[in-house]
């Protein structure tokens, strides 16, 4: 049956068919009513617009994420099936890989971004957050996206990677292409790829060993070549993963947190009263806004999922954001609550592919929210927030605010 109650004319008959396009501007503008329709229609749905299965309830999203043998990543985690179409860039050796290939590359990045590595950068990240907040207190009125959510990660992450100063303006545009490219062949994806050449050239060059400063995350990846964990051909591609996934994600995560704290003054007050809540306030913002909204998997065999039979070679779209607000899993799912038990949210994914950079993201979020809580009394939204449209990322283009010193 379609959402309007008429029988489906094509596609699988056993699951509800919906006509929602989750990559349409109207969907991006307000995804929440559509997320509810997707969850309520059934545990597994079929989206006629793109001929894919969809899961929007927490249980099924979690189940798909935790069965990587059946729901694979090596055929791409976007709509494009790498078995049928040539990828727009060489596949990622970690994101777009399955065990056993994935296991080795994952281990490398996991070590490079380990708790020990975080200890080395923590003081620098915290000092830079305090500096950024001081600069913003001098301005009082500013754009919380450009001047905070982008400026802060740009002030630390490229240095932590070991990138040279020139050309960094390519980093966010490159990531924007990466995240648009996971979507269907709509205007956003086609335009992004069409304009990607200069950004791709920059990234490819910076991934080379000679262009990465000693001691940085990039050099640490290349160092694994010397002890034989990865080949010299693999190392630049793993650096590319950090350039692809390490900046725009935290920009939108920090942007989400500031947007939440500006909109919900009672939660801002709780954070001010107890700045040790900063890390959970950031985590809850990742659940509440889900900067990474969706990902696909591809079935490696016929599989039954919550009563639905899905054939081999089918794309399954996971609505991470809808799972993160599924009332079957969460109390008051639509409330931003900085003291909530956030564990189990799928904003960083789940299972073997769960965000390998999550400690970097949490560190950035924690030190920035701590600096704000200690130094700022009030955050007021002073103009219309403008949305940024991307096939995968949810976030704002601008958020005019005025802050008051503590
Ligand atoms: C998304 O290139 C990559 O390895 C890569 C790109 C994007 C992501 C992850 C990895 C999930 C944040």
Q: Residue of the nearest CA to atom 3 in ligand 1?
A: 241
Q: Cα(52)–Cα(183) distance, rounded to whole angstroms? A: 12
- Give yes or no for residue 245 CB within 6 A of ligand 1: yes
The mean pLDDT of the chain is: 97
Rounded to the nearest angstrom, the distance between the alpha carbon of 175 and the centre of ligand 1 is: 9
Q: What is the pLDDT at residue 13?
A: 85
For residues 91-127, one letter each, b for 16 or more C-beta atoms within 10 angstroms of the residue's C-beta and e for the rest, the string is bbbbbbbbeeebebbbebbeebbeeebeeebeeebbe
Residue range 74-80: mean pLDDT, rounded: 99
Strands 141-143 and 395-398, bridge-based pairing: unpaired
Compute the Cα dihedral for 378, 383, 384, 389 and give only its sign.
negative
Residue range 331-336: mean pLDDT, rounded: 98
pLDDT at residue 252 greater than cutoff 70: yes
Q: What is the pLDDT at residue 14?
A: 87
pLDDT at residue 6 greater than cutoff 70: no
Residue to mutate, 110, 178, 348, ligand 1, most ligand atoms under 8 Å from C-beta: 178
Say which residue, 369 or 6, is predicted with more confidence: 369
Rounded to the nearest angstrom, the distance between the alpha carbon of 176 and the centre of ligand 1 is: 11
Residue range 349-359: mean pLDDT, rounded: 99
- Give yes or no for residue 175 CB within 6 A of ligand 1: no
pLDDT at residue 11 greater than cutoff 90: no
Residue range 76-103: mean pLDDT, rounded: 98
- Give yes or no for residue 74 CB within 6 A of ligand 1: no
Residue range 87-113: mean pLDDT, rounded: 98
Q: What is the pLDDT at residue 152?
A: 99
3-state secondary structure of 318: strand
Residue range 225-230: mean pLDDT, rounded: 96
Q: What is the pLDDT at residue 5?
A: 40
Identify whether the C-beta of residue 292 lies closer than 8 Å to the C-beta of residue 347: yes
pLDDT at residue 222 greater than cutoff 50: yes
Residue range 314-333: mean pLDDT, rounded: 99
Instruction: Return the closest-CA partner of residue 396 out of 232, 259, 240, 294.
Output: 259
Domain parsing of the chain, residue ranges: 11-405
Residue range 366-390: mean pLDDT, rounded: 98
Instruction: Return the closest-CA partner of residue 244 out of 272, 211, 207, 279.
Output: 207
Q: What is the pLDDT at residue 4?
A: 43
Q: What is the pLDDT at residue 8?
A: 52
Rounded to the nearest angstrom, the distance between the alpha carbon of 369 and the centre of ligand 1 is: 25
Instruction: Return the closest-CA partner of residue 357 out of 110, 171, 34, 44.
Output: 110
Question: 195: how many CB neighbours lie within 10 A of its CB?
Answer: 12
**CA angle 20–332–264, rounded 5-degree value:** 95
Residue range 243-251: mean pLDDT, rounded: 98
Quickly list DSSP for 373-389: HHHEEEEEE-S--EEEP
- Give yes or no for residue 178 CB within 6 A of ligand 1: yes
- Give yes or no for residue 145 CB within 6 A of ligand 1: no
Fold of domain 11-405: Cytochrome p450 (1.10.630)
Residue to mutate, 74, 92, 93, 102, ligand 1, most ligand atoms under 8 Å from C-beta: 92
Residue range 133-138: mean pLDDT, rounded: 98
- Give yes or no for residue 250 CB within 6 A of ligand 1: no
Q: What is the tens place of the pLDDT at every residue in 158-205? A: 999 999 999 999 999 999 999 999 999 999 999 999 999 999 999 999
Q: Residue of the nearest CA to atom 11 in ligand 1?
A: 245
**CA angle 50–57–30, rounded 5-degree value:** 65
Q: Is 51 left (phi over 0), alpha (psi -120 to 50) or beta?
A: left
- Give yes or no for residue 94 CB within 6 A of ligand 1: yes
């Amino acid at each position: 049956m379609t959402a309007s109650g008429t029988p489906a004319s094509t596609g699988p008959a056993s699951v509800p068919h919906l006509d929602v396009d989750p990559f349409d501007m109207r969907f991006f503008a307000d995804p929440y009513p559509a997320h509810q329709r997707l969850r309520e229609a059934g545990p597994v749905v079929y989206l006629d617009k793109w001929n894919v299965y969809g899961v929007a309830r927490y249980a099924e999203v979690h189940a798909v994420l935790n069965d990587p043998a059946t729901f694979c990543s090596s055929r791409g985690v976007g709509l494009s099936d790498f078995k049928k179409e040539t990828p727009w860039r060489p596949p990622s050796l970690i994101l777009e890989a399955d065990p056993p290939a994935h296991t080795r590359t994952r281990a490398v990045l996991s070590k490079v971004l380990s708790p020990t590595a975080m200890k080395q950068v923590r003081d620098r990240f915290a000092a830079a957050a305090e500096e950024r907040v001081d600069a913003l207190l001098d301005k009082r009125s500013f754009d919380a996206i450009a001047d905070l959510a982008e400026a802060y990660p740009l002030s630390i992450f490229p240095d932590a990677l070991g990138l040279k100063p020139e050309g960094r303006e390519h980093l966010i545009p490159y990531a924007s292409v990466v995240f648009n490219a996971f979507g269907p062949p709509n205007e956003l994806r086609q335009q992004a790829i069409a304009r990607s050449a200069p950004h791709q050239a920059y990234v490819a060059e910076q991934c080379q060993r000679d262009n990465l400063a000693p001691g940085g995350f990039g050099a640490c990846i290349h160092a694994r070549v010397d002890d034989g964990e990865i080949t010299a051909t693999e190392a630049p591609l793993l650096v590319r993963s950090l350039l692809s996934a390490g900046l725009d994600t935290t920009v939108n995560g920090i942007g989400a947190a500031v947007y939440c704290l500006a909109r919900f003054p009672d939660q801002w007050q709780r954070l001010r009263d107890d700045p040790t809540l900063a890390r959970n306030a950031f985590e809850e913002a990742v659940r509440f806004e889900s900067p990474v909204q969706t990902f696909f998997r591809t079935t490696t065999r016929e599989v039954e999922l919550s009563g639905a039979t899905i054939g081999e070679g089918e794309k399954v779209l996971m609505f991470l954001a809808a799972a993160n607000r599924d009332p079957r899993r969460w109390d008051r799912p639509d409330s931003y609550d900085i003291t909530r038990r956030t564990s189990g949210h799928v904003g960083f994914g789940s299972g073997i592919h769960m965000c390998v950079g999550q400690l970097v993201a949490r560190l950035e979020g924690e030190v920035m929210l701590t600096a704000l809580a200690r130094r700022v009394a009030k955050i007021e939204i002073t103009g219309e927030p403008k949305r940024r449209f991307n096939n995968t990322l949810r976030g704002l283009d601008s958020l005019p605010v005025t802050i008051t010193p503590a």
